[in-house]
Amino acid sequence: MTVDLDDTLDPWDGLVTAALLGAARRPVDPSALPGIVGAAGARLPETDPAARLLDAAALMTAARRAALTPSRLPAPTTEDTTGADDATDVRRRRPASISPDDVAPPVSRAAARRLDDLLSGSRRDADALLVHWLRTAAQRGLRAPADRLPALLDWAARTTTPADLLPVLGERGRWLATHQKRWRRTLTVDDGPGTDSTDSTDATDGADLSTDAPVQAPSDQTWTHGTPHERQVWFRALRRAAPESARTALLALDWNRQDGETRLALVVALSQGLCLADEEVLDRALADRRKDVRAAAARLLVQIPDGRFQTQAAARALACIRVEHPPRPSLVARRPAPRIVVTLPDADDPTPWPAGMLETPRGTGARAWLLRHLVEAAPVRLWSQHTGLTPDALVALPVADDLSEEVHLGWAQAAVRDGDQTWARALAPTTFGSLYIDLLRLLPLEERVAHVVATLVADTVDGPSGRPAKAGSDEPTTGRRLIDASSALASVAGPWPAEMTAAVVRWLATSPAHGWDHGAITRQAARDLPDDAATEARVRAAAADVPPDNPRHQTILSLADTLLYRRQMIEELQ
């Protein structure tokens, strides 16, 4: 006897009956299921009765779930959340939050498929290309497809550049990010000292979180009863809109009752609109029990012009350094060259830092470490006033007692903080790595391009030397030149100008570098070279100049393929 599912009041009850009595005794015909479910059942292959019963149950389960309409919870009343702890507050309020409608149009289907490819991790350069995809989509006012949002938020949670994702999340994406702790950092990108990231969140739960949305005065209830995350967002919004009101709210806060992450976030938020009046609250944070909170407060205090912290550090630094002009030993002898003489500070008195805050690295003297921090904290313009010499002249002077590194690094950090172009120009040749990049970024674009071209030309086989420098010579080593070249390249945002592009492509084909050195610059080129067809053709021509058995041949061809991939990616985002 076959169960006639079409005659049962509920087809699911018929399937249950067949399962209880046994599929052999009560076989099921899936084609008898109602509507399109039956039509799908008719296409199932002929199998034994038990398999047919399970197939029918699977079809019916899918149909029942597809027809389910989720219920909508009422919005909570004031009594629901006032005075609730954080965990209870999240449970009561978050399910009632409704995703707002998206205004921005989604990317094309081709662009969505490209996004899937980038998120799959099949390419070694996927992260760099994905950042490029996100920035281009944001520039064109497009948003990511809704079904890709979880994967994008997962990617942002494990990268160092979540700010690139925020503009393309759309309203639904920003709403979704509030529902998982690891996703929320995409909405709370703090402006740390010395960084270029921007905080793009607004104030209250359910408020417009886009960077262009007007900031409204948040509710005091969020500050007093919100979750730690909500209170941090509230404070950043208030700091942007009314810095004085934010400072007053922070001074009235019971500081010691806040958790460490909240205290750190509130201190970092003061970087927005930092001024002399913030010294009082930063002095309180300077005595915090957490090391990272104290360090964040000290970094901000150093940045306040004419503040107590900067003034005390400058007075001690100027007292430590002087220019010595040795007397001529005789009337016929040449006058000895001037030099910088350093009197190391007393490490037992770390003023203006609190005692124990400046932990000296292993292998570094405590007094030399304090000297570097004092020089770094002093306004860099004071040194020319103090010595009567220009930055170029000061940097060129020898420093007694092998302390040039401490003095020059302190000057360089101060120049970056103060944005002093003259000092940056004088100090750039003495530094390397990230500090070198920061100094170069203070110079005009044409000067940065000249730095890049000169460094790359010096490293090519037909450059000035045509060979690697000898060990022990005054000429920079090949490794150091390549580090300088890589850093100089990083100081110029892509797409690179024509002169720089030509120098990079020429370097790819003729440089004696290999291995990591060559790969590092090639990866930068893949990210920042123009992606037009002419540049791609030039790169392929450079690959043709390299013998096929040379590993660089395939590396350069891969670079050309990446430029093609980027160009197609951009075209799909039209």
> In this structure, how many other beta carbons lie within 10 angstroms of the beta carbon of residue 160?
8
Distance CA 99, CA 172 (A): 6
Q: One digit per residue, pLDDT tens: the chain, 574 residues? A: 555 555 545 778 888 888 888 888 888 888 888 777 788 888 888 888 888 889 888 988 888 777 666 666 555 544 444 344 444 444 444 444 678 888 899 999 999 999 999 999 888 899 999 999 999 999 999 999 999 999 999 998 888 666 778 889 999 998 898 888 888 877 765 433 333 333 333 333 333 333 333 334 445 778 888 878 788 888 998 999 999 999 999 999 989 889 999 999 999 999 999 999 999 999 999 999 999 999 999 999 999 998 999 999 999 999 999 999 888 777 777 878 899 999 999 999 999 998 888 889 998 999 999 999 999 999 999 999 999 999 999 999 999 999 999 999 999 999 999 999 999 999 998 888 889 999 999 999 999 999 889 888 876 644 444 333 333 334 454 556 677 788 889 899 989 999 999 999 999 888 775 555 677 889 999 999 999 999 999 999 999 999 999 888 999 999 999 999 999 999 999 8
Identify whether the C-beta of residue 309 lies closer than 8 Å to the C-beta of residue 302: yes
Decide: 209 and 131 in contact? Cβ < 8 Å.
no
Report the chain's terminal Cα–Cα distance, integer Å: 62
- For the chain, which residues make up each domain, given as ranges? 11-66, 105-184, 220-302, 316-430, 444-572
Asked whether 304 and 279 are in contact (CB, 8 A), the reply is yes
Residue type, 103: V
Q: Which pair of tokens denotes residue 211?
A: 């960077």
Cis ω for the linkage preceding 352 (within 30 of 0) = yes
Q: Name the pTM for this structure.
A: 0.70
Cis peptide, bond prior to residue 495, ω within 30 of zero: yes
